[in-house]
Structure formats: structure tokens, C-alpha cells
Amino acid sequence: MSIRIQTSQNVDLEYEPASIGERILATLLDRLIYAVWVIAWVVIYIRISRGESEASTFVIIVIVVLPVMLYPLLTEYLLNGQTLGKRAMRIRVVLLDGNPPTLGAYIRRWLFILIDTDLFTPLVAIIAIAANSKRQRIGDIAAGTTVIKTIKRVTLDQVTYQALPDDYLVTYASVNQLKDADIEIIRQVMRTANEDLLQRTAYKVAEVLEITPPLEYRLFLLTVINDYVHLANKEEQ
């Protein structure tokens, strides 16, 4: 199963949604991080207490409780839609329009954690994800987000030049600002498994073209390559 999303640039992106099992494992890994954090500070507190000085309740809340509460919001916002658990499982939060989620979207997802995982039971989130065609929990529905796999779906054959149909429609007309050498560099980057390099390349290309790249960087760069080849062929005719 896949999720098809049309971006603001009218590019159809096909995402593979994260499975329920992957999302559960990511959550368990995150909660393991919570446990390690809390245990570490309990040990520190006990040692401080033995030294005949007590940490105030306010300090405990600020140092121990707040980081745990804010962890999902801060990590997803700072790590491009991933908590550490999601990063380990290679899944990530995206907006349904293909763009990176806004801070507001992350906040809405975070607030609804209380409803679909903590206030009631994780079973509520599991049922919502299973019943929703876009694999959204209640927080995702409120924020307009979903969770996808980050493992690349584009094969090497798709990176190399393939004949385009006669009715091919160019998505990014400004690709004529690029050069053959730029396109070759993009192809070389796409042949690697370095997702960080891929992201930096996508942002650099988007900067040159003066557009906002979709979150699916490989498909964005592949579209750039196809547009460039199509326009170059038209100029030669």
C-alpha cells in the first residue's frame, strides 16, 4: 500500500506509510529513552539528598518532567519530523501536501498525544491508524500529517536517463538555469545511500531554482533531472 500526495508544485509523490509495528517500536524506543533519563536523574537526586541538600520540586519538574513531556515536540521539530525512535526505525512525519511540517502542525500532533495514546490507551491510536487510509492517528488528522518510511523507493534504473513520453509536462521550468555538470552531480548523489547528502543537494537545487523542495528529496531531484533532459531535447530539435 502507498499514499499518493500532490504537492503545491503539482508533483505527485508516492510514499510508503510506516507500518503500525514500526510506529509502535519507535514509540517503545522513545519511552526507553524517557526511562533512562528519569532513572539517571533519580540516581543523581538520591546522591544529592545523601549530601544533606534537597533539590526543590520545581527543579525536579524542570529537569526531569518537562524534557519528557516536550521530547516528542522538540525532537520532531529539530530533527526533520523524527524522534530518536523514529530515526532508528527510519520513519518520519510529513504533511499531506508533501511539504515539511510547520511548528504548528508539530504542536497539534503533540497536544493530541494526550488523547490518542496517553489519556486513554495506545489502542485508540492503533485503531485510528488501522482504520485510516492514510495511516493517521487522531493527532495526525488534526495536524494534517502522516508518518512515512524514509528508505528510498527510487531505483538506480530510474536515476539514469530514460526516454520520456511525448506529452511529458515540465514541473520546474527554471531547471534551464542548471548545467549538464549540475545534473551529473545530482545523478551521482542519487546513486548513493547518503540521505543527508541527498537532502543538502535537494535544498541547494531548490535554492538555485528559487522553489521549496518537497520532502521526498529523491523524487524531487528525479523530477529535476527529467525536466532538464526534456527541455534540453526540445532545444536540440
Each domain of the chain, given as residue ranges in start order, spans 3-149, 156-236
| Contacts (Cβ under 8 Å, ≥6 apart) of 144 | 95, 96, 97, 105
Predicted confidence at residue 118, as pLDDT, reads 65
Provide the percentage of residues in the chain whose pLDDT is more than 90.
24
Residue 4 Cα distances to 1, 15, 114, 146, 198, angstroms: 10, 6, 29, 12, 22
Q: Is the pLDDT of residue 78 over 60?
A: yes
193-217 core/surface letters (b: 16 or more CB in 10 A; e: else): eeeeebbebbeebbeebebbbbbbb
pTM (two decimals): 0.63
Residue bearing the bigger pLDDT, 147 or 98: 147
The pLDDT value recorded for residue 71 is: 94
- Alpha carbons within 13 angstroms on the beta-carbon side of residue 229 total 19
